[in-house]
Homo-oligomer: A and B are copies of this chain.
Amino acid sequence: MPIRVTIWNEFRHEKKKEAVAKIYPKGMHEAIASYLREASDLSIKTATLDEPEHGLTQAIVDQSDVMVWWGHVAHGEVQDAIVDRVHKRVISGMGLVVLHSGHFSKIFKKLMGTSCDLKWREEENEREILWVTRPGHPIVKDINDHFILPREEMYGEYFDIPEPECTFLISSFGGGEVFRSGCTWTRGAGRIAYFRPGHETFPTYHDKNVLKVIENAIRWAAPTPGPVAQMFGNRKLGWVG
């Protein structure tokens, strides 16, 4: 059975800024989706903010094994009820891959418990080098010891996240800043990955290394098949022995 993936995108920049539309004529979600559709073990859907229920009806969420999340200017427009729905699904096992400015999304902040704040610099067209810090991890399968994005937006530490369970990529930028660009956590039965690159004015989601990491992250975050044993509800217990 394929892994059922829902790629969620705010999809605003692409409709409003010509420069962005040029790079992603059908939206960033479609750039990612069209790459992933080549993989026979993945079944790809997309959803965007301006669809009813943001494209995340209960049925869609229930049928998602992994969700990919990109947002930026409209985090506040995402309804709390939808965030709670996604959160509940993560706790019960759905994987979540949060991209770039998604660090400030409601769902990521709710899962992390921190401010998710960071340093940044106005688009400067900077070189980013991403270094692998956990070789052998499934998320960096087929990735060399580093890869370079010639132009990206700088994100710098301190990135206010809980100590990651695994830091698999650390970036340096032209200005000498560093950033934990690839991190993982577990929340309930759900696996969460944050992956930094993806500023909308650069062709980052056409980069083969970036796409490969997203693909790997989806497979890594997919839930273990089968029931999650007796985890839910405020359970009153009898005697087991």
Q: A21 near B: Cβ within 8 Å?
A: no
Residues of A120-135 at the interface with B, using a CB-CB cut-off of 8 Å, are 120-122, 127, 129, 131-135
Q: Which of A206-241 contact B (CB under 8 A)?
A: 223-226, 228-241
Which residues from B are CB-within-8-Å of A170? 157, 170, 178, 180
Residue of B nearest to A117 (CB): B234
Also in contact, A178 and B172, with CB within 8 A (given A148-B240, A157-B131, A235-B119)? yes
In the bound assembly, the distance between CA atoms of A171 and B189 in angstroms comes to: 20
- The answer, yes or no, to whether A35 is at the interface (CB within 8 Å) is no
A189 to B132, CA, bound (A): 12
Q: Does A166 contact B (CB under 8 A)?
A: yes
Q: How many residues of A contact B (CB 8 A)?
A: 77
A226→B118 CA distance, assembly (Å): 21
Stretch at the interface among A24-32, A139-147, A193-201: A139-147
In the complex, how many angstroms separate the beta carbon of A228 from the nearest chain B beta carbon? 5
Does A136 count as interface, using CB distance less than 8 angstroms? yes
Interface stretch among A1-9, A36-44, A107-115? A107-115
Contact A136 B241 (CB under 8 A): no
In the complex, A210 Cα to B90 Cα: how many Å?
A: 28
Partner of A140, one of B121, B148, B160, B229: B229
A76 contacts partner chain B, Cβ-Cβ < 8 Å? no
* Contact residues in B for A158 (Cβ distance below 8 Å): 131-135, 145, 230-231
Give Cα A54 to B228, complex, Å: 38
Most buried by B among A146, A172, A189: A172
**Given A175-B237, A175-B240, 11 additional A-B pairs, CB 8 A:** A114-B188, A117-B235, A121-B236, A136-B228, A137-B224, A148-B241, A154-B237, A156-B237, A157-B170, A160-B231, A176-B241
Spell out A's residues near B (CB within 8 Å): 91, 93, 104, 110-115, 117-122, 127, 129, 131-138, 140-146, 148, 154, 156-160, 162-163, 165-167, 170-173, 175-178, 180, 185-190, 223-226, 228-241
Sort A-B residue pairs by CB-CB distance and give the 4 closest, nearest first. Answer: A136-B189, A145-B230, A172-B172, A111-B113
